[in-house]
Structure formats: C-alpha cells, structure tokens
Structure 1
Amino acid sequence: MATSRERAPRAEPLAAPSLSPPIVIAHRGASGLRPEHTLASYELAIAQGADFIEPDLVLTKDDVFVARHENNIADTSDVADHPEFADRRTTKTIDGEQVTGWFTEDFTLAELKTLRAKERLPMLRPANTDYDGRFQIPTLEEIIALAKRASAETGRTIGIYPETKHPSYFASIGQPMERRLVAALDAAGWNGADAPVFIQSFEVDNLRRLHALTKVRLIQLLDDTGGPADGAAPSYADMISPAGLKQVAGYAWGIGPNKDMIAVGSKPATTLVRDAHAAGLRVHPWTFRAENYFLPRSQWKGLNPRGHGDVEAAIRRQLALGIDGFFTDFPLIGVEMRNAATGKGSRPKGSI
C-alpha cells in the first residue's frame, strides 16, 4: 500500500464502452484547411472520410437557413468590402451580449449570395486565406444535396449535424427555428431516428420543442463554463450531475460536451463519459484542433502557436475513455485515429 509520502498515481476512470461505433464529425467541414462553412470545406471533409459534416445554422431575412458560425458575418465574409451594405452595420444584443457587425437576418438570401466567405482565423490559419473570396455562403438545402450526392458517389452514408445558433434570439425577432428546420429535414426524407442527422443546440427549450416535432436524434451541447442562454438550466455544471443527465436523457439522444470536460492534457480524466453512458446518453465532445494554440502545453510541438501539436494523443485518450464520436477541424486526422482505435482500415472507401 502506498504511504502518504509515496501515493499511487490516480487512475483513469474505468472506460465506459462506446454505446455506438465512434463517428467523426467534420466541425464546420475541414475547417483547419479551408474557410469554414463553405461547400469546399464540407467536400474536403467528406473526401477525407468524415461521417458527418456540421453546419451552424442561422436564418436570412426571408427565412432561409444558411451556414455561418454566427449570424454576425463580419468575420466570416467580405461584407465590409461591399459599400452597398455599409448602412446595415449595426449593434444588437444577442444572448445578453452586445455585438456589432452585419447580421444574416438583415439580408435576403439573394443579397447574401453576392458575398463571399473568408477565413475566420487568419493569424492561426494563414494558408486558408488563399481561398478567401472564392466561395459563397451555402444554404442548408445545398448542404443536404451535397451530403446525398456524396453518399451516392462514395458508397458511404454522409450525414449532417446541424447546430441551431441562438434559437431563442431568433424566436424573439419573430423567426423561430424549430418548425422550419423540421420541415427542411422532412423534405429531404429525414424524419426518423435512423436518419443520418443529429440536431445540436446549446439551448434546452429549443431541443425540447424539437423533441416534440421530430424523431431525429438530438444532442445537448455543453460547455465547461456558463449555462444555456435560454435560462432553462442554472448552469452546464448542473446538467452533468447524475440527476441533470437523467433530465437531458428525457429529450436528447446524447450530449456534446466541451472536450475539456472529459480530459485535458495529462490531468486525470473526469467521469463524464461513464456518467453519461449510465444515463443512456452518447457522448460527442468538441472540438479537436491540431494547432498548438488550442492544445494544453503538454501537447505542444515547438513554440509556434499556429504549429501543429499532438492532437492525436488527445483524440486517442478520449476514444479510450469510450466517447461515441467527436468533432474535429481536421477530419483526416480524426478518421485515422478513430480507425486505429477501432481496428478499421486506414482510410474508408471514397477518402483521399
């Protein structure tokens, strides 16, 4: 037995075997290599073997879903270079914070299609700026069509993993998202629990309303600080207690926690995966990024924040803890780590 001077190292929590075969979710597409939320980013992610592509969804003035990280498109488009839209720059309060920029809900789809996407993180991903100005802002309909076409071409089922962005805010301005999203998925023939779709949200009531409207699988997103913007739970910390997870299981198929809620660097892992599995919830953590900037110091390689560190180790560890899938900006790395962990071939059919 270890003495007080020589304590045994704390062991990892017992792994909870995955409840479902682990999936690789391309976070905003292959966003480490192309400007996020563009068809080019999604196409590359599919070619690299991703199982799902993830569009963040916001609405236009004429109620069309488009894929942008935020409804404020100042940092993800060339809108500032369009003098005809200069007077639409404004300040709004969204989820309790004041935000200044140009907002999708103030543009028709036709107007948004005159804009072009640009890299959101140019200091960390300068190579991606070579693609600035090449790609349009895609619609949900275009993304669904891409997933279906790629499924037919590759022989793999390519799913979509949409996130409803700021649903309570959009509801407050007369643009509730739930029925519109369900209608779009119904039109694609995706309305059951076996559809290649997950709908995710950081809010709670949004998912509860969706639960009443569709059988499509729902994912409750969680962060390591704060709580849902709709105030439906006191904090995300409360939601990951055994009682909180049981409540989440009443409307959601799984959870999407910040990956740091599971394990960070060499620190001991938490019991979140095991606890979620005990409640019947799958676990899809976000987001594994290769750049040193996004990794703990113990996983850096070199001193350049934009250099790539040991993200492979981070993914391997969480796969060993039993996660059921994960989000990554670098789908090829994710696929290789998943396949190595599960004994699959090095690259799936249809990859490059």
Structure 2
Amino acid sequence: MTRPNYLSAAVLCIASLMAIPAQAATLNSPYNTLTGDAPLVIGHRGAPAYLPENSIGGNELAAEMGSDFIETDVMMTKDNVLIAMHDTTLERTTDVAAFYAPRNGGYAVSDFTYDELKLLAVKPTGTGDETYPGFTPSGDDPYRIPTFADMLDALTAYNDANGTSVGMLTEGKYSDNIETSRAVIRTLIEKGYDTPEKSVVQSFDFDNVSDYADLLAAAGVEMGVAQLGIGWPLDDGTLGVLSFGGAFGTLSELSSYTDTVALGFGTITEELIAAAHGEGLSVYGWTFRPEDLEDAFDLAKPFLDWGLDGFITDSPDYLRLAIDGYGSELAPVPLPAGLPLLLVGLFGLAGLKRRT
C-alpha cells in the first residue's frame, strides 16, 4: 500500500535547506569518511527510541526517518527458523509470560518453535511506544516477531513502494555456528541482498565474521563484512578490535577479510579512524542515543570531524539531520526530548538556529 512519506519528506525538506548543492558536495565534500561520502545512518534494530525494536513497523519508521541501513539481529528458534531478535531470551522485548509458562527455568528463544513465537507481540522498551505521530506501518501485523526472511521481504516492499534503497546490516546473535551463519548468508542471497550497497553482515564473534567472509567467497558474492567490538590499543600502540570474549584482531589483520570495524563509540578516537582508513577499513560507531536534536549535533560533531563512516543509532531522525547539517551554518535550538521529527519537518525550520 502506497502512503504519503511524511517523515522522509520532512527530513529531505530540512536537509535540502541545510546542505550545499549535491553536485558541489561531490566535488568538495565536508566529510572525512573513507570515501568522502556522507556517513551512513544505521537504524539500530529499527527505531527503538520510538517503536518496538527488531519489528517490521520499527524498520519502516527508521527508513522514513532517513536511515541508509537497518541493523537487525538474527538467531535460530528451536525448529531452526531464523528470526529477528536481539536477546537470547524473550522477556524483555515480548509478552511471552502472558502466553507460556517458563521452560527450563526461563524463556530462551531456543526453547520455542516459530509457530509458538508467532503468537507473541514485540513490545516497546525504553522511550519506545506502540505508535508514532503521523506514521502508519504497512501490513496486518507489523509488531509480531518476524522471520528474517519476512523482514527482508518487508524492506524490499518498502523500497519498491517508496523508491528508496535502504539496506540491511545483519548481526548474528549467536556463538560460532557455521550452520546458522550459512543460513544467514543463504537467506540474504535468496532475497536479493547480495551486494555491499544492500547488505552488510557483522558479529562480535571473530569466528562468525571469518565464516561470513569464507561463505561469501565460496558463493561468489560480495557483501560488506564488519567486525563488532571495541577499539583497543595494545601496549605497543598497535590499534585493533577487542571482542567481549577477549579475542583481539589488529586493523591490519582484519583488513584481510573484512571491510568495516563497528565499535562502541566511546572507544573510537581520531587516531583509530585514521589508522582504519589507512588499512582501507570503514568505521561504524554504536550506539548513538541523543536525547534531542541539539544533543545529536553535539554528539555527532567530533565523529564527523574525524571521519566516522556510519552512525548506528536508536534515533535515526536526529542523526540524519545532524549529518546532513554538518558543515553548514545552521544548528538546532534545544527541543523537548522526544518531540516528533514530524513536527519539525511540517513546520519548517522552527527547530533550527544559526551556529555561532
């Protein structure tokens, strides 16, 4: 169903006033990214600051807010169905307790079949809600637990209906498991997410990331491959990525089979970005959670100065404006936390002031 894209129109309206002409931007880009292009806005599990995470409805809102990619977590159910889910348990993000008693002492995803999980709704967390002003999701049940295949189909349908090209950043939320990794790559290829412009795969597990690279090479397909972790210097000053499990890879080592490092933004430095770019690696930062538009400008500016290539964020609307406004003379006035971007777009530049 085609419907007015209010949020995208609002963002584009403001961005067009804030940014230099596109042709000039190509010739004289203000961005210090690896390619010189504007950094990516990556909706972290959709737009969880506003709607339930890892849901089709949340992904659509993130797309309308100007995301270039949607970050989605995947794992297997008991009957080997890939679903979109961050936690290994169901309590935080679903209404599972209303339907089922605990199994094996809890609610592990791996203890339930997908047919059982289809009964559950994905509920909002944090500042999220069940609706967003001016936004109506497509489909009959946009806040159920989706299969990974369904989520890709929904994103394709959104892109086709709106003339967009939002891609998928897929994170494997499981320890090293070659069969699950194989299912992730197979599903992405089958659904047409088989180019770097459409698809990036990532994991905190070094073996998973290595498996992704090997599987893509065997399939003769190129996608983006990213190693998740935190930026970490060794005692001798060597820069690299440290995983939560304690594994470490230097930027030089990682560049042999990945093209991106995705790091906790508090561990990213100007030196690290420069070193990564020197190895041909782009750098994404996670997870940016600005409270309002002014906070987004202040939070993003040093990373934009340093050349960060991608911002993974719960609030893609704020980051879209901060990135598109970078290098201009315009900056935001303080806004009430959570004020819908829709109002900013519909009522012009009321939310912006000149940068001093």
Deviations 1:242-273 (A, max 9, x none): xx1000111111110100012xxxxxx44111
Letter in 2 for 1:218: V
Distance (whole Å) between structure 2 residues aligned to residue 224 and residue 155 of structure 1: 36
Is the 8 Å Cα contact of residues 284 and 327 (structure 1) preserved in structure 2? yes
Distance (whole Å) between structure 2 residues aligned to residue 23 and residue 65 of structure 1: 26
Letter in 1 for 2:296: V
- 1:19 counterpart = 2:34: yes
Deviations 1:274-329 (A, max 9, x none): 111111100110111024xxxxxxxxxxxxxxx88713211122111101111011
SS class of match (1:284): strand
Aligned position for 1:10: none
- 1:284 counterpart = 2:284: yes
- 1:110 counterpart = 2:115: yes
Distance (whole Å) between structure 2 residues aligned to residue 154 and residue 24 of structure 1: 18
Letter in 2 for 1:181: V
SS class of match (1:55): strand
- Say which of 284, 302, 306 aligns to 1:321: 306
The 5 A counterparts of 1:74-223 are 74-82=91-99, 85-90=100-105, 101-121=106-126, 125=127, 128=129, 135-168=143-176, 171=177, 176-192=179-195, 194-214=196-216, 215-223=222-230
Is the 8 Å Cα contact of residues 16 and 277 (structure 1) preserved in structure 2? no
- Structure 1 residues 250 and 198: alpha-carbon distance in aligned structure 2, compared to 1, 3 A threshold: same
For structure 2, the residue ranges without an aligned partner over 5 or more in a row are 1-29, 133-140, 217-221, 233-240, 332-340, 347-356
Is the 8 Å Cα contact of residues 55 and 163 (structure 1) preserved in structure 2? yes
Displacement of 1:151 in angstroms is: 1.5
Is the 8 Å Cα contact of residues 58 and 164 (structure 1) preserved in structure 2? yes
Distance (whole Å) between structure 2 residues aligned to residue 308 and residue 323 of structure 1: 19
RMSD: 2.8
- Structure 1 residues 276 and 134: alpha-carbon distance in aligned structure 2, compared to 1, 3 A threshold: closer
Displacement of 1:227 in angstroms is: 4.3
Letter in 1 for 2:65: Q
Letter in 1 for 2:118: K
TM-score under structure 2 length normalisation = 0.72
Q: How many residues matched?
A: 280
Aligned position for 1:11: none
Is the 8 Å Cα contact of residues 77 and 83 (structure 2) preserved in structure 1? yes
Moved over 6 A (4+): none
For structure 1, the residue ranges without an aligned partner over 5 or more in a row are 1-14, 91-100, 263-268, 292-306
The 5 A counterparts of 1:297-336 are 310-336=295-321
Distance (whole Å) between structure 2 residues aligned to residue 103 and residue 38 of structure 1: 19
The structure whose residues are more often strand, as a share, is 2
Displacement of 1:229 in angstroms is: 5.5
Is the 8 Å Cα contact of residues 296 and 322 (structure 2) preserved in structure 1? no
Displacement of 1:89 in angstroms is: 4.8
Deviations 1:50-79 (A, max 9, x none): 111111111111111111121211111111
Displacement of 1:191 in angstroms is: 3.0
SS class of match (1:19): coil
- Structure 1 residues 152 and 224: alpha-carbon distance in aligned structure 2, compared to 1, 3 A threshold: same
Is the 8 Å Cα contact of residues 25 and 53 (structure 1) preserved in structure 2? yes
Aligned position for 2:7: none
Distance (whole Å) between structure 1 residues aligned to residue 279 and residue 31 of structure 2: 12
- Structure 1 residues 288 and 88: alpha-carbon distance in aligned structure 2, compared to 1, 3 A threshold: same
Is the 8 Å Cα contact of residues 41 and 319 (structure 2) preserved in structure 1? yes
Distance (whole Å) between structure 1 residues aligned to residue 194 and residue 55 of structure 2: 25
TM-score under structure 1 length normalisation = 0.73
Is the 8 Å Cα contact of residues 56 and 143 (structure 2) preserved in structure 1? yes
- Structure 1 residues 78 and 134: alpha-carbon distance in aligned structure 2, compared to 1, 3 A threshold: farther
